[in-house]
Structures are given as structure tokens and as C-alpha cells.
Chain A
Amino acid sequence: MTENTVLEMRGICKEFPGVKALQGVDFTLNKGEIHALMGENGAGKSTLIKVLTGVYEKDGGDIFISGKDKPIMIKSPQDAQNNGISTVYQEITLCPNLSVAENMYIGRGNNVIQNWKKMNAAANKILQDLDIPAKATQQLGSCSIAVQQMVAIARAVDMDCKVLILDEPTSSLDEQEVEKLFVLMRDLKKKGVGIIFVTHFLEQVYEVCDKITVLRDGKLVGAYDIEELPRVQLVSKMLGKEMDDLSDVVRGYVPNVDTELTPIVFEAKDLVSNAGISPFDFVIRKGEVNGFTGLLGSGRSECVRAIFGADRVLGGTVMKDEKPAKIRKPIDAMKLKMAYLPEDRKMDGIIADLSVRENIIIALQVLKGFFRPFSKAEQEKFADEYIKLLEIKTASRETPIKALSGGNQQKVILARWLLTNPDYLILDEPTRGIDIGTKVEIQRLVVKLASKGMAVTFISSETDEMLRTCSRLIVMRDRKVVGELKGEDLTQNKVMSTIAGGDK
């Protein structure tokens, strides 16, 4: 360890049943450095972070931290804190029933008595310094998710840490909040804190980071200075492919069908649900890919949930295949050969403890009825077919789905719905939080399915992704449909100006 190093991990190994999650990974962090940890889903980033924070115990390797001669043992999150390593996780790991101030200070220090006055004053000061719109005495559960995330960051920052780990902290923040976070990170950097930054957003990496360490398949690919590694190379290092493979990404899919003559697959008039959206009309034809776009919270998901009957429908008429239909519950929609991949994979999508096979089979089984189960051989055939088709990376078809990486979980859910052979597929944020490689695969798949005649509705926060796949975009603002774009209007600028309201 040199004098400038604050953290060094050497030869870290971690094995889970059937998966070698980390194989001899080295990682070095210097004082006052923002160090990006990059890799696809399943590359081992999360595992490495969890080893470092004491959530997992490592199977091999040593961790050194400045100020201590011997390798340190980190067996619990508390050990990590005591060694000056603090962490902000992607999912909020705070207690919603406690006040903001308590969430910032609980579990720290050794004081037996809690001094509320002092704590609240200190918390208010930090909240003010960081410009977080919350009061110290407020119950955390009453804050928005973004504010909760900022509180988690405030806690980590205040801990006087040597190493700060930010594990995808920006996924729930809007642009301004991200900017605020970056200011904070640069501030801490000046104070000599080493920051490990995990993110999927390449722009953010190039905006704040000094160094990049790339992992792939649980192995170290290399550590690079940011200037030495242009984006194209970073991506190819993460994927382990050359850039040429990526350049043939689908672009501007236009259905080669006459739109007026193609049969309508699904049509809704004045549809409205209890989720607070204004009534909207909607139509999709065979072989078409359309999308809902708009800012977070503009009502994109609520629209498709109303279409699928996932929220309570309050009014409006729907037609499926040009025949009137009633969709009150998701099962009604499923029977009409519709499928819906929900936004929140963890809550609405995966059934964590069931195996990959069971997760794939379940929708079809529901359609067939539980009293007529598929034979084991049939189930295995289905599962294997789709594991192969979608290239799902899993130890076996019997692995519990929770052991898979995010991208692969998403593929399993996709397989579940494809297996029901729908003619109308709704994908709500299918690419969120998954790596570029899988994103491209999913985009390609969407286009392929459409070219075979399936109608697809696609929602994504990334506009360029939508532009690449959709032939028609429905723009939403403040829970209302405010426009529809197609053909030549499908440009980034036009979408932005429609979302913002007019050509400002």
C-alpha cells in the first residue's frame, strides 16, 4: 500500500452455490479520488460492494485500509462503518418509521443516551448545507423517495468516512438532484475522501470520475484513468465484445405495413383508472411498436396499467381485435392474449423464491388453470427453450430467480409472457437498471417480435431507446396525453419540446 492509497482489496473471491461471483478481484482506491466501478449486471459489482460493506463474508483475499497495517476483517455493516467505510445503497436502507434525524444518526457512535435536541440541530444543519428539502423531525416515510435517498447520502457523508460507496445512487434522482450530488462528491473529494461510484449512466461516469475499474463475469478486466478510456472502449471492455457488434443496433423501426389497412389489435376510448390519469384514447395495430413517453410521474405506467386492468378501471370502453371487451382484472387481459411486463420488477414481477422454471411457467399455468398442471417434462422443455432463446444466464433452470442478476431476472419475466404467446405485449421500463448488452438484446427482440406481427407498447425513461424502437410515441405530461409523434417528428428535440409543452 502506498501512502496515497486509502483502500486496497487484493484477490477477493466469493462463491455462491453454483456461481463464482468474484474470482481474485483487485481494487485500489486513492485518497481524493472518485472511482467508477463498472460492469454489466452479474459482473460482480454488487458482490464486491457487499463484501466491502460486510453484508457478505468473502471466501478469500485481503482488504487493507489506510492507517492499519494488517488486513481488516469486515463481518457486519457495523464493522465497515467503524473502519470508515460508509455506503449508500440503490434501494433505500433506512427506517421509514423513524424521523429524518434519527435515520441519519442511529447505529453510529457509542452513546447510550440519545440527545434529541443536539441530534436534530446537527441534522438540520446538514440538511441545510446539502439543500435537502426535509426537516429533521419529520418522519422519513412522509418524504419522497428522492429525498429519502438524499437523506441516506447525508448520513453517509456525515460519518466522517475515509471511503464512501455510492451504489447506483442516481437512479431515483432527477437531473437537478444528481447535479447537487455531484457538487457534494467533488467537495468530499477535495477533503480527501475516496469515493467508489457505481452507476449505469456513462455520462455521469465521465462527468465526475477520475478512474474506472471494469469487472466482467466476476473477474477484473482492468483499472484505467478516465482520459485513457474513451466511452466506446469502456463499453466494449464491459461487454467483452468489439464495438462493431454494437453498431448494428436497430434504428428507427418502421413497420412495413399500410397503417390504415392493418387490423387494429387493441383500442381504448376514454379509458380512465383510479390511479389519477385523465381519460385517454389509445389504438395499436398489428405489428406496430408504439410507446408512452414523458417525465417520471407523468402517468406513462398508469396508462398501460389501465389498459391491462392492473389498476381499477373507472370508465371507458376497450376493443380487442375490433370486438368489445371487458378488462377488469389482469387475468381478463391475459385471456385476451395480452401480456404486461410491469415496471417494478421486484414487487410486481419476480417471485423471488421460486425457481427460474417456475417463474417462466406461471403465467401460462394461470391461463390453463391450476387444476391442470403441466407435466414436469413439459415445464422443463418450456423453460429450457426460453433460457436458450433469450440467453438467460443462470446456473440451472432450478436456480431461485433471486440469485440471478437484474438483467437476467428481467429476461425470465419476458420469457414468462412470451410463453403465453400474446398478440399484444406491453413492456413497462423493461430496460431499467440493466446493462447495455441486455438492453440492446431486448430492443432487438422487441423489433423482431413486431416484425412477426405482434403489437408492442414500449415504455422507457431513455428517449433514444424509444426513438430506436417505436414507430409512434404518445407523449404524456401531468397525467394527460398531450401529443402523438410519428414519422419525421420522431426526433429527440421534438419529443423534448412536446414533453415540455410547445416549441420553447
Chain B
Amino acid sequence: MKQKFKNMSDTNLLLFITIVTFVLMYVLAVCCLGGGFTKPQSFFDLLNENAALIILACGLSLVMITGSIDISVGGIIALVSMSGAVYLEKANGNVFVSLLIALGIGLVFGAFQGYLIAYLEIQPFIVTLAGMFLARGLTTIINRDSFNIENNEAFKAVKNLRIEIPGLGTTNRHGIYNPAYITIGVVVALLIVLILFCVLRWTRLGRSFYAVGGNNQSALMLGINVKKSKFLAHLLCGLLGGIGGFVFLLNLGSGAVSNGGGFEMLAIASAIIGGTMLTGGVGNIVGSLLGVLSLRTIQNIVRSIGLDEAWWTEITVGAMLCIFLVIQSIVMARKEKKAK
């Protein structure tokens, strides 16, 4: 076992910690708090509410694995959801076209930021900070006020599409059976997790992300196109921002300037809790999914024990992030010692 622990790659080791933490936390919540946590649907709601965040965290993991960062995604969510809402409500547009708009916005942001970061070698933090302000600004130009999409039937149909999961429903005290369900957004998010997991694990591109993040000078010498890898990571992150924005709109059904506020930071926090290191080269997509779920679970736990002011949940998230970073560095340090 000890040998196995030593031979585990950093990525797998951190993922292992994340899985253990999440399972422990959830089991603890179910056992001690009972109530809502015991219902399968409350787990599915965790997914339903956070599909967009999961998608963003996936995008962030990609750029963080290459050793970069992207803080524009929250802004992209706002821009995508606002332009989608305006198009769907005021022009009574087509849902499919609004998806294309979302993808387009994400791609343009991703490509532009990726170009500046990879090929002109500008600091990613600065580039995406500018991207964040730009996206928020554009959102306000499109529409200042927030509003709900009420008159687009096609959109509402997609929004209310529920995929029932047989066998996990509950019967309430009036004897009415409530089936367990997930939304279309969750399906998209899980598909993305699956696809990116495969990409990172089994494709040349995915492995080059890890190599670039591990040591970009070495990666260059090993014959990897470092600039292209960085560019593609940012492009994908932008694209996922676009998809995330659309899923966000599907979930909320409204356009607002404040949409996705703070999401970039939540996504980064989730990725870190999921075992992605800010220094690059280490990380896992499944971890990011679990990172989002852990983050939200701990918030729910805090709320359900009665501390439901906003600052309590924020303090908890901060503390959790802190604890995770400490655990990570302790484990890595111990491992390094053992290797010697």
C-alpha cells in the first residue's frame, strides 16, 4: 500500500484526496443532519443548480493544468446569458441559434485571449482581467435591466425539460410520487466532464497540456508545440464559458448584468479543491466536478445547521480552500521526502 502511495502520480493522489473528502462529507451530512440530505433528489439538485459552474470549473482546470489562469469566465456567463435572453425574449428568437450565439461569444473570447497569452506572451491574469471587464461592459451595453424570459415557448420547453431517473423518486406525505430528475444542463455538463476526461487522459493534446504545465521549457525541447497547446487550452476554456453561459440561462431563465458574479473565483476554488494545482501540470477533470459538489455541499451543510447568512457560507468556502491547500502541500511534501 505504501509503495502504491509512493508510486501514485501527483494528479491521482490529489484526486484521491478529493474523492475521499467529498464522500466523507456527504456521508457525514446524511448521517448527522439527515433531513434533506437523505433524499436522492437533493443530490440531483446539487447537479441541477450547479451545471454551469461545473462546466466553468472544467474550463478552468484545463488552463490551470497548462499553468495559466482565466478569470474572464464569470463575465462571459453574464454576456452570454444577457445576449441570449435579449435575443430569445425581445426578438423571439430560435433556441438553437441562441446556443450558436453563446458558442460564438465563448470562442471569440477564448481565441482572442488565447492568442494574446500564448503567442504574444502577455500575462494571463492581466489578459483575462481585461476580458472580464470587457464582457461585463458589453453586457451592460446590450441591456441594463434584468428581465425574465416569459414569452418564448420553445425556450421554456427546453428549460423545463426534465430527465427522470427511475427508482429514486420519493413519495411525500400526501402520497404523491415525486420522481427524481435532472435537467438538460446536467446532461451537458456530465458529457463535457466525460469528454474532457478522455481528452486529458488519452489524447496527445491532453497530455501536452500536462507537459506544458509541468515545465514549458522542457515541453518545448520534447517537441511539443507549447504555444499551440496554451492557445487551445484558452480557446477551450472560452468555449466552455459560452456553453456554461447557455446552461446558466437555461437554469435561471433570465438575463441580468450581475449574472455569474464571482463565478470565476468559485470555478477556480472548485478546481483547486478538485486537486488541480495553480502551479500547473497537475489536475483532473473528475476532481473539478467533485470540487464543485464539495463546495456546494459544505455550503448546504452550513446553511442546514442554521448559519444561513451569506457571510457564513463564504467564510466556510474560504476555510475549506485553505484546508485543502494545506492538505495538498503536506501530502506532496511527505511524498517527496519518501521518494528520496
Contacts and interface: CB of A to CB of B under 8 A. Distances in A.
Interface stretch (B134-142, B186-194, B200-208, B244-252): B200-208
Nearest to B204: A112
B156 interface: no
Interface stretch (B26-34, B165-173, B217-225): B217-225
Interface string A332-369: 00000000000000000000000000000000000000
A77 B207 contact: no
A141 B224 contact: no
B80 interface: no
Interface stretch (B2-10, B104-112, B118-126): B2-10
Contacts of B224: 78, 106-107
Contacts of A89: 221
Given A77-B223, A106-B224, A112-B204, A95 B211 contact: yes
Contact of B6 (A94, A102, A142): A142
Interface stretch (A131-139, A214-222, A441-449): A131-139
B214 A113 contact: no
Contact of B218 (A81, A94, A111): A94
A199 interface: no
Nearest to A86: B223
Interface string B6-24: 1111110000000000000
A95 B210 contact: yes
Instruction: Give the interface size bracket for A toward B.
Output: 20 to 34
A139 B207 contact: no
A102 B201 CA distance: 12
B219 A107 contact: yes
B220 A112 contact: no
Contacts of A106: 207-208, 211, 222-224
A353 to B, nearest CB: 16
Interface in A39-84: 55, 76-78, 81
A98 B211 contact: yes
B88 interface: no
B204 A114 contact: yes
Contacts, number: 93
B148 interface: no
B198 to A, nearest CB: 9
Interface in A79-108: 81, 87, 89, 92-99, 102-103, 106-108
B207 A94 contact: no
Contact-residue bracket for chain B: 20 to 34
Interface in B219-261: 219-225
A259 to B, nearest CB: 40
B151 interface: no
Interface string A420-463: 00000000000000000000000000000000000000000000
B7 A93 contact: no
A344 B220 CA distance: 24
A153 to B, nearest CB: 14
Nearest to B65: A97
A150 to B, nearest CB: 16
B222 A93 contact: yes
Contacts of B218: 92-95
Contact of A113 (B202, B222, B335): B202
A85 B158 CA distance: 56
A14 to B, nearest CB: 19
Nearest to B277: A97
A139 B225 contact: no
Contacts of A138: 7
B215 interface: yes
B7 A96 contact: no
- A-B interface, 5 closest residue pairs, ranked by CB to CB distance from nearest: A107-B223, A95-B214, A97-B214, A97-B281, A93-B221
Interface of B: 6-11, 201-208, 210-211, 213-215, 217-225, 281-282, 335-336, 339
